[in-house]
Structure 1
């Protein structure tokens, strides 16, 4: 099944919106992107899907399902401290994969070769956690080190895997896994 045909399924068509809308943080009353890229609100897809079943608690889900440059992406926006959020992000990944595969009648073999994942996070809310992760590796973070890591990552065309999502999920569940600070994500979108 082609990517456009997948997003053409009625359950996905019923929940079309923009990337901006899926990035909204209710608690902070702000958006993490201004992009008007058309996407599927996967939270709404999950809500429609679970209505058919009696389940409690309700599964968690990623924010958006999109086609960018012909590739399928799950996108999750996190505007809070990643120390508190990372476990929930991983749960959303697994539960979203289960729902997605059931909806399109596919297996993880499909997602491993055709579906990508992006976590977009707010660096300012997560600086202490990232510093903690770096200290575990006996690296002391400074603004200049952070800038150097970003610059080296960009030059090497390598996305830094601060939260270990690529290591855990790429090549087994997803084709590619990316972690972007919201500013870097918006720059990446402008290049697409």
Structure 2
């Protein structure tokens, strides 16, 4: 069983124990859907299976907590690779700078929700680490994926960074990179597909 399957199965069992049944898994293309403009931001050939954090948050976690307020702010997708590296993926069909607060909230709330769900000893998310925060500093990467057409500034920064063999971290992701996670950076759709999706492996 892959690391991805382990966490997917855990989510399913966790909610089923509480008589909550939901679609945990979706496809990367579907996770990139922009409701307002009715279009998919990502339409690459490799359509990876991902954990829908929107579904986990709003069809599962929110019901479990009997929350009546606003929906839980989470990233669009979670992926876990063969090395147990965790990737929070958020699609933004706009300028990253225009959604600074939203991006920060989603990264933070996503992690806090996972801490609450995974606190059960049946799933040792941070086994081998002194705490969940040490695990996050060593294993979690936050990726924001944007449109080069709608965010030409970020595209230029991402392209320049790629030429130098590094990744571009916009200001709204800097604190995640510096303090909380292993890394945090932005990609345009093209770089996301070429640098991440095409090389991603479950096992």
TM-score (norm 2): 0.74
CA shift in 2, pair 1:14/1:181, >3 Å: same
Partners of 1:82 and 1:125 within 8 A in 2:
no
CA shift in 2, pair 1:22/1:171, >3 Å: same
Per-residue Cα deviation, 1:100-148 (whole angstroms, up to 9, x for no partner)? 1111126323222222111001132233xx48xxxxxxxxxxx9xx3xx
CA shift in 2, pair 1:151/1:73, >3 Å: closer
What is the CA–CA distance in structure 1 between the aligned matches of 2:180 and 2:189, rounded to whole Å? 24
Is 1:10 the counterpart of 2:17? The answer is: no
Partners of 2:103 and 2:172 within 8 A in 1:
no
Is 1:67 the counterpart of 2:80? The answer is: yes
In structure 2, list runs of 5 or more residues that go unmatched.
14-21, 120-124, 126-131
Is 1:51 the counterpart of 2:60? The answer is: no
TM-score (norm 1): 0.78
What is the CA–CA distance in structure 2 between the aligned matches of 1:169 and 1:28, rounded to whole Å? 29
Divergent runs of 4+, >4 A: 149-152
What is the CA–CA distance in structure 2 between the aligned matches of 1:150 and 1:92, rounded to whole Å? 21
Q: Which residue of 1 aligns with 2:102?
A: 88
Partners of 1:112 and 1:171 within 8 A in 2:
no
Moved more, 99-108 or 149-158: 149-158
Partners of 2:133 and 2:180 within 8 A in 1:
yes
Secondary structure, aligned partner of 1:125:
coil
CA shift in 2, pair 1:119/1:150, >3 Å: closer
Is 1:125 the counterpart of 2:138? The answer is: no
Choose which of 160, 168, 173 in structure 2 pairs with 1:160. Answer: 168
